[in-house]
Chains A and B, each alone.
Chain A
Amino acid sequence: MLNRRSFLTTSSLAAISLATPGLLGRASAQGAALKIGVPVPISGAFAANGKFATIGAQMAAEEVAKAHGIEVSTLDLDTEGKPATAVRKVQDALAQDGIKLFAGGILSSESLAMGKEIERGGGSFMTTAGADEITGPDCNKATFRWSVPTFGAIDQTVRPIIDALPEAKRWYTITPQYVFGDGLLNAAKAVFAEKGIEHVGNSYHSLTDKEFSGYLTNAISAQPDVLLLLNFGAQSSDTLRQAVSFGLKQRMTIVVAWASGLEQFEALGPDICEGVYFGAQYWHGADTPLNRELVARVQEKHGFNPNYSFAGSYIISKLLLDAAAKAGSAEGSAVIGQLEGLKYTGLTGEEEIRAADHQVIKDYYLLKGKAKDAMAGKDDYVDIISSGKSFLSAEQSGCKMTA
């Protein structure tokens, strides 16, 4: 039953009945091999992330297999961007395929739901989703998170910009109305208060909005020096595109606190990115040993530069698989024991998995868009302005880990 594995994709319809996880005749390949589930949105509105995430996980699996001389396979689980589907696929993978390692979950709602389920099923789970709750109030023993939460994302973008632009005293924010957006907004307000910045207004929008001209009109009338966008993905691209068409780049500094990096810059194009500040979890131009190595290998194998979806998925899969290989078991408790407190050389430099809340302590990047003629290659959209680690303590994050 190899059909579902990502390295053997078949489009033969005859294979469907065999590939169906539910249908009889499906035996899961038990044995010494390590298996990792990759629950990411492969279809639906976040398909772009899922596409790269599955290749990233695949690459990690191949490396770990080579390094430890074991057989490693990945199983792509299409969550369709819906928590219900995500949970069902994870439950099936736990029960049917005996999979205990899971790397994925790009959306917060999916990750929160899957984390609970994987804990219940005795597995371990690492995610790149953004919601603070994952390593905060809704933390659990099985769930780890690689990406920097809202506090660090704001602290590493807003603070250095305030320092760099001392005359920019008036900031306006545009925020998606839900917990993640509020997390970013509250963190930003705290920095504003500390630095004596005037927060001249905020516009909330819903997660289904695509038209931002109304919010931009609000922002213009507040006459800010800086426009801080706290939404993400397609919505932040839409907002930024429309802000640029309203000529706001000439009138104020624009900051996108939670950008997705290369994939977003490709969609936006260099003309829109130029001069805009972006906060990012990962950038392929980061000058760290492991990252240089990864970029070279991905270039050689796939002919593109790794983006955030790829790199995030790669590193979380690698961490889980390495831990399982070292522990000699994929069981949750063994893997968790290996991961807690682990210090390692990661893509952003030295990284550490905090035992108390399972948050990875890593760098967050502040990037700035380059002019088109200053770009050295087709992916050289930005310069790294600064990077660093900012995290609330485990107590402040609100995580109470129950053993």
Chain B
Amino acid sequence: MIYLFQILNGIGLGMLYFLLAVGLSVIFGLLQFVNFAHGAFYLLGAYLTFDLTQRGFSFWAAMPMATLIVAGIAAAIEALLLHRIYKLPHTFHILVTVGLALVIQELVIIAWGPLGGSVPAPEGLQGVVIAGDFIYPQYRLFTIGFTAVLAGLLWWLLEGTRLGAIVRGGSESPSNMALLGYNTMRINTAVFGFGAGLAGLAGALAAPIRGVEPFMGVEALSVAFVVVVIGGMGSYTGALVAGLLVGIVQSVMTTVWPEGARLMIYLGMALVIATMPRGLLGRA
């Protein structure tokens, strides 16, 4: 019975992990860019939500505002800074984004202090759902539903629209896109802002669950990397499947062998790369 509960809980976790990772995956898929600042955008999203709700905005207003602000900041960073280094080796992607992550993290401490804080779940979602022995917070249930809807929307956006086709076309052959008259630079900026905005949204959604503290981005980044690598870089469905997988494994392991949960996850990550280099569902 407990395993069933853990699997259900793992699905809830996994949906959050998916949201966290999918932005990273999109950025990598289109830009071939390794973004170590992804966790910092998650951090920023969470803190903006914290700040806005403290100022009296309702969570429902704060969440989209935080997402948009993060997306805007990220797009600005891309347009001013990152687009200059796409062509350089990955080493420099890592250097710049590690630097950016440090800058954002320290700015967060300067702006909001080192202590952290709590964000209350929105009105009406503060209770729990009880089914027999299983208890689950309403807010977590909401995030599952919300993320599922969002996942559908993303799928449609990336796979079913002209925009998605442009994005995918840009990733496969930037020069062709340029020939067709598309401004790849502008597409890149938009995609980076979009991916980072998703991380900001994940942060906003996670804030009422985890609270906020200045180092939450570090853990989020490592989770996002694991999910993206297992799922396959640039793969939307892969991020979903791997996010759920990691969430469920982590949750079930807390009952079976808690000390080994992380070992299992990283061993799994190594195994996947060693045997299936493109990840479970990556595009070849």
- The answer on direct contact between A and B (beta carbons under 8 Å) is yes
0/1 string, B133-173, CB within 8 A of A gives 1: 11111011000000000000000000000000000000000
Whole-angstrom distance between the Cβ of B179 and the nearest chain A Cβ:
47
Is A221's CB under 8 angstroms from B1's CB?
yes
A45 CA to B106 CA in the complex, in Å?
11
Is B254's CB under 8 angstroms from A214's CB?
yes
**Of A205, A217, A267, which one neighbours B251 at CB under 8 angstroms?**
A217
A242 at the interface (CB under 8 A from B): yes
Is B254's CB under 8 angstroms from A215's CB?
yes
A253 CA to B139 CA in the complex, in Å?
22
Is A242's CB under 8 angstroms from B210's CB?
yes
Which stretch of A141-149, A160-168, A268-276 is in the interface?
A: A268-276
Majority SS of interface residues in chain B? Answer: helix
Complex interface residues of chain B between 146 and 204 (CB less than 8 A to chain A): none
Is B210's CB under 8 angstroms from A218's CB?
no
B25 at the interface (CB under 8 A from A): no
Whole-angstrom distance between the Cβ of A362 and the nearest chain B Cβ:
25
B72 at the interface (CB under 8 A from A): no
Which stretch of A26-34, A233-241, A346-354 is in the interface?
A: A233-241
**Of B113, B215, B251, which one neighbours A214 at CB under 8 angstroms?**
B251
Inside 8 A of B216's CB, which chain A residues have their CB?
A: 210
Q: How many B residues are at the interface, by size bracket?
A: 35 or more
Inside 8 A of A208's CB, which chain B residues have their CB?
A: 219, 262
Which stretch of B77-85, B115-123, B224-232 is in the interface?
A: B115-123
Closest residue of chain B to A221 (Cβ to Cβ) is B2
Is B213's CB under 8 angstroms from A215's CB?
no
Inside 8 A of B251's CB, which chain A residues have their CB?
A: 213-214, 217
Is A214's CB under 8 angstroms from B137's CB?
no
0/1 string, A210-239, CB within 8 A of B gives 1: 110111011011000000000000100110
Which stretch of B6-14, B90-98, B274-282 is in the interface?
A: B6-14
Is B128's CB under 8 angstroms from A267's CB?
no
A266 CA to B115 CA in the complex, in Å?
8
A267 CA to B216 CA in the complex, in Å?
14
A385 at the interface (CB under 8 A from B): no
Q: Which one of A51, A237, A245 has the greatest number of beta carbons of chain B within 10 Å?
A: A245
A206 CA to B127 CA in the complex, in Å?
29
Given contacts A217-B251, A221-B133, contact A241 B118 (CB under 8 A): yes
Is B6's CB under 8 angstroms from A214's CB?
yes
Q: How many A residues are at the interface, by size bracket?
A: 35 or more
A238 CA to B262 CA in the complex, in Å?
18
Whole-angstrom distance between the Cβ of B260 and the nearest chain A Cβ:
10
Closest residue of chain B to A205 (Cβ to Cβ) is B258
A238 CA to B215 CA in the complex, in Å?
13
Is B117's CB under 8 angstroms from A269's CB?
yes
Closest residue of chain A to B137 (Cβ to Cβ) is A245
**Of A234, A242, A272, which one neighbours B209 at CB under 8 angstroms?**
A242
Majority SS of interface residues in chain A? Answer: helix
Is A234's CB under 8 angstroms from B213's CB?
yes
Given contacts A221-B2, A246-B135, contact A47 B109 (CB under 8 A): yes
Given contacts A208-B262, A241-B210, A242-B209, contact A213 B115 (CB under 8 A): no
B214 at the interface (CB under 8 A from A): yes
Q: Which one of B116, B118, B215, B261 has the greatest number of beta carbons of chain A within 10 Å?
A: B118
0/1 string, A236-259, CB within 8 A of B gives 1: 011001100111100100000000
A379 at the interface (CB under 8 A from B): no
Whole-angstrom distance between the Cβ of A180 and the nearest chain B Cβ:
15
Inside 8 A of B137's CB, which chain A residues have their CB?
A: 245-247
Closest residue of chain B to A203 (Cβ to Cβ) is B258
Inside 8 A of B113's CB, which chain A residues have their CB?
A: 48
B114 at the interface (CB under 8 A from A): yes
A204 at the interface (CB under 8 A from B): yes
Complex interface residues of chain A between 170 and 218 (CB less than 8 A to chain B): 177, 203-206, 208, 210-211, 213-215, 217-218
Inside 8 A of B252's CB, which chain A residues have their CB?
A: 214
Is A214's CB under 8 angstroms from B209's CB?
no
**Of B118, B121, B210, which one neighbours A268 at CB under 8 angstroms?**
B118
Is B114's CB under 8 angstroms from A47's CB?
yes
Is A214's CB under 8 angstroms from B9's CB?
yes
A51 CA to B109 CA in the complex, in Å?
11
Whole-angstrom distance between the Cβ of A107 and the nearest chain B Cβ:
14
List 25 A-B residue pairs with CB atoms under 8 Å apart, sorted by A's residue number.
A177-B259, A204-B259, A208-B219, A210-B219, A211-B250, A213-B13, A213-B251, A214-B250, A214-B255, A214-B258, A215-B254, A217-B6, A217-B251, A220-B135, A221-B5, A234-B116, A234-B215, A241-B118, A245-B209, A247-B130, A248-B135, A267-B118, A267-B213, A268-B118, A269-B117
Which 10 residue pairs are nearest across A and B when measured between Cβ atoms? A214-B254, A247-B128, A48-B114, A214-B251, A47-B114, A245-B137, A269-B118, A267-B116, A45-B215, A221-B2
Additional 16 contacts, C-beta under 8 A, given A217-B251, A267-B116, A269-B118 = A47-B114, A48-B113, A206-B258, A206-B261, A210-B210, A213-B12, A214-B251, A217-B6, A217-B255, A218-B254, A234-B116, A237-B213, A245-B128, A245-B209, A263-B115, A267-B118
